[in-house]
Structure 1
Amino acid sequence: MTYLLVFLGGGLGAMFRHFINTVSGRMLGTAFPYHTFFINVSGSLVMGLIAGYFAFKGGSSQHVRLFLMTGILGGYTTFSAFSLDAALLYERGAVGLAALYVLGSVALAIAGLFAGLALIRAIT
């Protein structure tokens, strides 16, 4: 059942992401990645709202959390999970580890993308 909830939520999140991509491209153009910027910021905001609500108010089942956080937000943006992980490290007092996680994730993700591009260029 949990996999089905994540699957359904992920589909909804991905559909909403596609909607934002399409609308922002038409309205704002494609010279700057407004769509990704908006999705990352809004997804992180919503993750904070949901995680905070569950942490401070409680009363939510694991199924609801999986559907909303892993499913919908996971399909919408994985940046929200990244942001939550960084915030949790910071909140636990592991400030240095949080900084390392943020800087390392961003730097290595971009490096990984460039490495993938270079590899494909080299073999094609």
Structure 2
Amino acid sequence: MNWLLVALGGAIGASLRYSASVWLVKPSGFFPWTTWWVNMFGCFLAGVFFAFTQKYPVLQQEARLFLMVGILGGFTTFSSFGLETFQLLRHGQNGLALSYALSSLMLGVIVLALGFYLLQLVLKN
């Protein structure tokens, strides 16, 4: 049943993400505003849901799988990243939170570039 909740939520979140990319007005320029707004909105919703789970622990089970892992996970994985960083900060793990945030951002881009250029090398041959 848990897999079904995540899969259904993921389908909804991914559909919402695609809808945002189609319907949001894209200002001119190169900055990825749609992705930025989706990430910020996803982080906001993750914070709202996290607050609800603190007040109503019953939401930490199936509802969390459907809403957080499924819908918000399909909508933006950045919301999970934001929540995990926030939880580290709440528990006084400031250095770990900073390390997690910087390494996720910087290494993520580096590893993406590595994959991109490695595949380009393979496809050239």
Q: TM-score range by the shorter chain?
A: over 0.9
Instruction: State the distance in 2 between where 1:54 and 1:83 align.
Output: 16
> How many residues are aligned here?
123
- Measured after TM superposition, the shift of residue 56 of structure 1 is 2.6
For the aligned residue pairs, the C-alpha RMSD in angstroms reads 1.4
**How many percent identity over aligned positions?**
37
Partner of residue 19, structure 1: 19
- Measured after TM superposition, the shift of residue 61 of structure 1 is 5.5
Give structure 2 stretches of 5+ with no counterpart: none
Partner of residue 90, structure 1: 89
- Measured after TM superposition, the shift of residue 121 of structure 1 is 1.3
Give structure 1 stretches of 5+ with no counterpart: none
Partner of residue 52, structure 2: 53
Q: How does 1:24-43 map to 2 (within 5 A)?
A: 24=24, 27-29=26-28, 31-43=30-42
Instruction: State the distance in 1 between where 2:26 and 2:114 align.
Output: 32
Runs of 4+, deviation exceeding 3 Å: none
Instruction: State the distance in 1 between where 2:26 and 2:100 align.
Output: 34
Instruction: State the distance in 2 between where 1:15 and 1:27 align.
Output: 18
- Measured after TM superposition, the shift of residue 35 of structure 1 is 1.0
Instruction: State the distance in 1 between where 2:67 and 2:30 align.
Output: 32
What do residues 72-91 of structure 1 show as CA deviations (whole Å, max 9, x unaligned)? 00000000000010000000
1:100–1:2 CA distance, 2 compared to 1 (3 A): same
Q: How does 1:103-122 map to 2 (within 5 A)?
A: 103-122=102-121
- Measured after TM superposition, the shift of residue 98 of structure 1 is 0.2
Contact 2:26 2:33 in 1 (8 A): no
